[in-house]
Structure 1
């Protein structure tokens, strides 16, 4: 069976969840990667992208009904899974097949197909090649990364990873970029840029490859990096085509491979002060005099650092791989070089207690004295499917039976079960600290989310 009318959806968040404060200006690279690979293959089909960043729930529903797709690809997370299932049921009513992809679907895999008859296929991890083969009608048994149902049986094929982060150049004309740029203009922390573009130059986390990753991390293994000369060539063309003035790289750790980052720096071409790096993620271990000089030369505006806790024992329990002293030095060095920092913290990490919570609260308050702190994101620990913490839940003698066969979760219930069984502090005490932190400083956003 081949498909000619393809809908790709980043679904709306569920009713009880809070929309991210910077939503609206991140282009959907996950969907664009799939659509671009299809377009470059010359396979003839109609593709429409539906992105909750710029579309309301009702707009997505209405547009789907008008388009009448024969295949719908959805990329859910734990925040949007209820909406995903609702959309899937609507699509089945118009006889469309439904395929899920992304971290959440990859982690739960066959469990979703077992529980949800409205889902026809799962594509695990890298999706560009298997998705194209699926829509062309290749035999399901011969498509890598696909999980599918045949009669009453569920089959899971072998995994294959792409050799690089990007296998087909992203075609941003598949979405209305002006809507994203207009939303960015409303950002109170926009910096000197007006037209930043979400960008993909690498996938995976080197730290996770080496260690299995931080306790809360559900991201994929296997780091891949694009050729830096090709990356700069893509940036040059995007500047010419869309007049972009910055990139926001979505890689988990932009500095994780120092050889790659050095090559990226050395191969910069036609670079000037009017173009820069709006945002990257990094681990504090990689922030030093050498890398900061390169970041400054690249006109870097903001870096997200996952700090997580103000207690060293909690960092060790979390397999964070750095120290509080390293964190302080990194923030101070970035401040000295006028590079802004967004900080991430997680409350309720393994072994959390009143003393460690108070240490984290005091640590956050002290860090806000730095002039370059633009945002503090405080999350409550959530054991996401695919993370080491979720595996601990499954292995727990009181919790395993509750979560072993589940694919849909009550987030508060999940967080409470984690805290009650893996921390030495109550959930109410964590909520109390979170409310206290939320009152710290008017010009810094303290955002509460899951981790």
Structure 2
């Protein structure tokens, strides 16, 4: 049996940070299913961060999978549908999954008859159950999928069936991702050509600190889980839809890093866990640079010492600053800070040789021109520091599943416009959001402010990477981001 897992190419800069990340979720599904089914299963992964949409279509047609699983984003949904339709024409069972599909699963199944099912939330175990029942499906149709947790599907009569249970496995019950499922030779050639050396992403856990105030169970009723997710106090722009903060056992991260170093010569490690684990101080034991997500409130001398003890001295902190004034930080669900506090943290990091990758969002609920300009002025001032090596600035993406998306859906006109949509126009929905919740700003003014900020930073001969997300091709060309593909290593 053939399983094809696809991460479609993202169009323009909608959510693209094509640097040194592999689609770990698909890798985890492929690893788990291969471990369970052995030689009876052949797994292939198509990674749109290093192959074009046309190549993915060609590979899909040539591979002719029995089952295809597609992890699409708001920026790759159209490409994902083209891949799915081709696979369906070839006779494949077509499944979608991931954050975006979990948030829009009903619309996708209602609007796209070539989709057989959508796996919600965690995908490893339901994917295995689906594969294990494929032989019976040839006789009994899609009805054999009844009772599989996390799986919404179209039955043999065309009716949409929602899952009865949501299953959340313990991370210790899932194997380490088998990186040989990725085309690592091609991937590492790409990271080297873009100035990062041999670098790759890895899991050290799942979830974030804001979602961590819940005692996780392994099994929930479908409605129970959805209600808990919607009730979480999360960042207003975040479309993630998982409960809890789950960390690996103490020595597992070190084992993964050492294997990547020994097998592939990796020396750049991107820990994609939304909140780095500050409790585990056991040394990893592999020299290299480590990029870690951390909240600005956690950047303290004590925590820096802990992280240096674990990872060494060559650290990059990825911090979502988002806004620089108290009002907008409160809107986004961030803790209070100000320019003086941020500068002091940057100086602490500078003295320890730690880089900062800082991200900012423009156009949140109630933002004014004055608030926006305070944020961009903060970005310009931080860019004066040599250890601030990456600045990401974006118009807010209105992501399905986020509190801001749900607020927009409360407006009757917007509900009629978007409630049944599964292909989201990021510019259109952003303009609608601004008109209703941020009337002092237009999208054009936000794009202009990003360009002006980047131009001023460049004009002072500062050389941080200047990146942008949440824009389409015309806007990106106007802003002219300074991407990492030509500026050298992130630790240069």
TM-score (norm 1): 0.91
Determine the C-alpha separation between the residues in 2 that align with 1:165 and 1:186: 35
Q: Deviation per CA, 1:83-138, whole angstroms, max 9, x where unpaired?
A: 11111111111111110010000111222101111111100111001101111117
Q: Which runs of 5+ in 1 are unaligned?
A: 256-260
What is aligned with 1:246?
A: 268
What is aligned with 1:129?
A: 125
CA gap of 1:184–1:327, structure 2 versus 1, over 3 A, is same
What is aligned with 1:408?
A: 423
2:60–2:86 CA contact under 8 A, matched in 1: no
CA gap of 1:445–1:247, structure 2 versus 1, over 3 A, is closer
SS at match of 1:441: helix
| CA root-mean-square deviation | 1.9
CA gap of 1:450–1:301, structure 2 versus 1, over 3 A, is same
Whether 1:31 and 2:20 are equivalent positions in the alignment is no
1:21–1:447 CA contact under 8 A, matched in 2: no
141-150 vs 176-185, which moves further: 176-185
- Cα offset for 1:22? 4.9
1:338–1:372 CA contact under 8 A, matched in 2: yes
1:166–1:200 CA contact under 8 A, matched in 2: no
Determine the C-alpha separation between the residues in 1 that align with 2:351 and 2:279: 21
Q: Which runs of 5+ in 2 are unaligned?
A: 135-143, 214-231, 472-492
What is aligned with 1:167?
A: 174
2:14–2:75 CA contact under 8 A, matched in 1: no
SS at match of 2:347: helix
1:199–1:250 CA contact under 8 A, matched in 2: yes
CA gap of 1:322–1:178, structure 2 versus 1, over 3 A, is farther
Determine the C-alpha separation between the residues in 2 that align with 1:447 and 1:24: 12
1:246–1:277 CA contact under 8 A, matched in 2: yes
Determine the C-alpha separation between the residues in 1 that align with 2:457 and 2:374: 18
Equivalent of 1:449 in 444, 469, 478: 469
1:296–1:339 CA contact under 8 A, matched in 2: no
SS at match of 1:221: coil
1:247–1:279 CA contact under 8 A, matched in 2: yes
Whether 1:428 and 2:444 are equivalent positions in the alignment is yes
Q: Deviation per CA, 1:302-354, whole angstroms, max 9, x where unpaired?
A: 11110111221010111112422543333222122111011100000111111
What is aligned with 1:155?
A: 161
2:14–2:469 CA contact under 8 A, matched in 1: no
- Cα offset for 1:19? 7.6
Q: Deviation per CA, 1:148-186, whole angstroms, max 9, x where unpaired?
A: 112242111121112227711111111221222222223
Equivalent of 2:108 in 108, 112, 118: 112
Whether 1:369 and 2:376 are equivalent positions in the alignment is no
What is aligned with 1:217?
A: 238
1:50–1:60 CA contact under 8 A, matched in 2: yes
SS at match of 2:22: coil
Determine the C-alpha separation between the residues in 1 that align with 2:279 and 2:83: 44
Report how many aligned residue pairs link the two structures: 432
- Cα offset for 1:432? 1.8
SS at match of 1:449: coil
Q: Deviation per CA, 1:373-416, whole angstroms, max 9, x where unpaired?
A: 11111110121011111100111233121111111111110111
Equivalent of 2:5 in 5, 8, 17: 8
2:269–2:289 CA contact under 8 A, matched in 1: yes
Determine the C-alpha separation between the residues in 2 that align with 1:224 and 1:377: 27
What is aligned with 1:398?
A: 413
What is aligned with 1:258?
A: none
Whether 1:262 and 2:279 are equivalent positions in the alignment is yes
Q: Deviation per CA, 1:272-315, whole angstroms, max 9, x where unpaired?
A: 5xx13431111111111111113334234311110111221010
- Cα offset for 1:235? 2.5
Determine the C-alpha separation between the residues in 2 that align with 1:132 and 1:318: 38
Determine the C-alpha separation between the residues in 1 that align with 2:468 and 2:444: 15
Equivalent of 2:41 in 32, 39, 45: 45
Determine the C-alpha separation between the residues in 2 that align with 1:354 and 1:20: 25
What is aligned with 1:287?
A: 299
